[in-house]
Chain A
């Protein structure tokens, strides 16, 4: 078996720089805010090093951008990396906080050799502007050790790999401090010298745990790695160094995230109809936005337009420090139908969804309604408004049984103030609603008012006269 290990020396730094247009000096500090943990190349040019006190760093570069390391966020980021790597390799195991294993011996045939795999991964890393140290080892531990030194080589030769591992100093091997000191006192300084010791003696004189580590590196002891499963959701986040005050400033990051979403959906062969956008503020509760398309969709540009509309409608409450885009609902993709070979006929179905989504995004979902008759004798209950849905192909043949009704119904009955000039039809007695407390007992007439309009008027039990509709 061969293992490929990716070590991300400064994942958080890469992540932040991807979402930034400006490139100032940037450093990540530890949770307490005392020491520099990661420094970007610009910062390193200014003399800032990892492990340096923050005060010293600020002395060297007064306008240094600082970001605090967050273990939770690092875990998220690592998962992100696993997700794209999963496109290339099936058996992936995470090595928190900053590494990923991928089993590659089974992939050699697919890609046509180890160098091709190596190249594919390197290319994917460059595309994503990530820094990673890659190494191949015959055991997971060997690959990890080699990757940490940054001297990984593309080789499948076990002897060569063991040779390279053997040259590594003891301190990098991950032994506990006490054993390390003891080994050093024995006069050993590289791993290779430890490998040369007899196993039984090593276990007896030092510790069985140390032997286990050594054997795992050598490959004489099994070191199973549970395969990682990609989550069934999509979640990406962007963090901003400078707070973003206008929604325009979010678009750059959104574009990148949506492009990744499109790629992800393409790869899954799925669509989605709901995006959840969470905007984080420094002092306030995060703003949660729900962007809905009317139909399944996967194109980044469509999502971007909808989000733009939504953001235009809802100005930012306060400056944004970070945003998260999450997708939880996925639907299978339907094969496009009705499009001819040359693509000349427009896909009306798609155009309908696009139009309705655009309208809903700007006006709100309640602004668009579809009407339907309902079976009730009371005029105000005989219709219903529902959310817009794609028209089906089932015309209901009810038109024959419906009574004569006006085309306009008033939102509520309005008192009849003028004396009608002509009476045309009536009375039609409508009485009902005793079952739900909204009792109606009325006599309806069709009458012409002095202005020439044809009204649907009724008289209620108290002898009051009201207009309830117009025959438009």
Chain B
């Protein structure tokens, strides 16, 4: 073994990381997003996607949805550290594979090309509730809602059909049935 010159311990074997979705209810006040995001960057946690908006204008509550990866130990830490932040009301987390939770992302595709190519694009998007938001003779903006990997696939697939620009959101999540996160 190579002799360590450090007075810090060497990293020990790591467990396999999994993908988790965090839902965080916070006071909608200045700097709150910076606190949440700063916690992730400061402690070396990963953010795959982020979505945030006010959900209750009366109580002034915003809902932040963060997709992250980590070992169960790290995920526990993320939840506990988030809970400690003063403007955080509630934290819920679940695995991406969780069947009881729906999560969706939205993407906007700008297609430039002849009519038949745009038709082909729409056809390809059929499974993902495509909506045409804007249309001209030579272009269209198509909105779809789907899972991250599905949007990844579409993004690739539409390139040869005239896709010139993609804009997409982070994931948002909701439980199935009458239950809510707690």
The answer to whether A and B interact is: no
